[in-house]
């Protein structure tokens, strides 16, 4: 089985110090490539350094997470400059989006929307896909994507309903959902419905490691080597052959990020 982890954070303090062994375990499980997603300007250096150290395995997705939307203009300018300076190493812009979970302050929400739109436009200018984080912000995320129409989208750790998904599928964009550990959780009714409803052709495998480990590792540090558990859960929900499904998902991951086998 060949596997791609389309969204993770090996730059995180829980993984970075032991990255060598995490990569070895991932490779043993069939993982051939992982995509570290940025969240802040401070995260960029480690992500790029990991790509320099493991050029055939660690790839870079750089962007500013909505939780940093209140930073000053200069912070964003510096971030965008760094993205442009490293364009030859970058596979996508992410993770960007909206997160209303911790605060619904109107000014903060407006700042998140502005920075999300700004980074979608940057991705369009640079002709890169985007990786989107959306939490408790289903309708606003959909509105912005509908208005901006980025070419290629991965809505990572998709948490919307089948109804929301249907709206995305109407748009003239190359749309994907990232499915990770949550699909293995016993009580995760909504994502199970989404996976049953949608074509496997829009699913990308991801971990969000070190977060959101699948059952039976729930609560532990997540690793790319756990992805077979996620593929198994998707296969059983969709009544598909696991090997065949994993092949489809692998090819989709490569294609999304423009990698060749």
Contact residues: Ni ion, CB under 5 A: 208
Please report how close the Cβ of residue 261 comes to Ni ion at its closest, in angstroms: 25
What tokens appear for 234 in the block?
């998707």
Please report how close the Cβ of residue 93 comes to Ni ion at its closest, in angstroms: 14
Instruction: Name the residue number minimizing CB distance to Ni ion.
Output: 208
- 39 vs 165, beta carbon nearer Ni ion: 39
Q: Are strands 174-179 and 203-205 parallel, antiparallel or unpaired?
A: parallel
d(Cα 107, Cα 37) in Å, to the nearest integer?
Answer: 26
d(Cα 93, Cα 95) in Å, to the nearest integer?
Answer: 7
- Torsions phi, psi for 36 (to 5 deg): -75, 125
Burial class, 19, CB count within 10 angstroms (exposed 0-12 / middle 13-18 / buried 19+): middle
- Torsions phi, psi for 109 (to 5 deg): -60, -40
Q: What is the dihedral of CA 41, 63, 215, 165, to 10 degrees?
A: 160
Please report how close the Cβ of residue 39 comes to Ni ion at its closest, in angstroms: 7
Please report how close the Cβ of residue 241 comes to Ni ion at its closest, in angstroms: 29
d(Cα 119, Cα 63) in Å, to the nearest integer?
Answer: 8
Please report how close the Cβ of residue 117 comes to Ni ion at its closest, in angstroms: 20
């Amino acid at each position: 089985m060949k596997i791609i982890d389309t969204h993770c954070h090996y730059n995180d303090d829980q993984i970075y110090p032991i990255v060598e062994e995490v990569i070895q375990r991932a490779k043993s499980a069939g993982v051939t490539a992982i995509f570290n997603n940025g969240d802040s300007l401070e995260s960029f250096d480690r992500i790029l350094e990991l790509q320099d150290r493991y050029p055939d395995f660690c790839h870079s997705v750089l962007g500013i997470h909505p939780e940093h939307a209140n930073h000053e203009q200069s912070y964003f300018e510096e971030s965008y400059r760094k993205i442009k300076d490293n364009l030859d190493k970058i596979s996508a812009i992410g993770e960007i989006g909206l997160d209303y979970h911790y605060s619904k302050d109107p000014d903060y929400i407006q700042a998140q929307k502005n920075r999300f739109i700004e980074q979608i436009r940057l991705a369009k200018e640079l002709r890169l896909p985007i990786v989107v984080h959306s939490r408790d912000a289903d309708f606003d995320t959909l509105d912005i994507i509908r208005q901006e129409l980025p070419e290629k989208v991965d809505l990572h750790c998709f948490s919307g309903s089948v109804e929301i998904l249907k709206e995305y599928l109407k748009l003239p964009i190359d749309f994907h959902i990232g499915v990770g550990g949550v699909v293995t959780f016993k009580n995760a009714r909504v994502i199970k419905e989404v996976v049953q409803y949608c074509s496997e052709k829009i699913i990308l495998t991801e971990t969000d490691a070190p977060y959101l480990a699948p059952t039976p590792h729930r609560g532990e540090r997540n690793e790319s080597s756990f992805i077979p558990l996620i593929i198994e859960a998707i296969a059983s929900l969709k009544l598909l052959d696991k090997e065949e499904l994993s092949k489809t998902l692998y090819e989709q991951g490569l294609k999304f990020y423009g990698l060749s086998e």
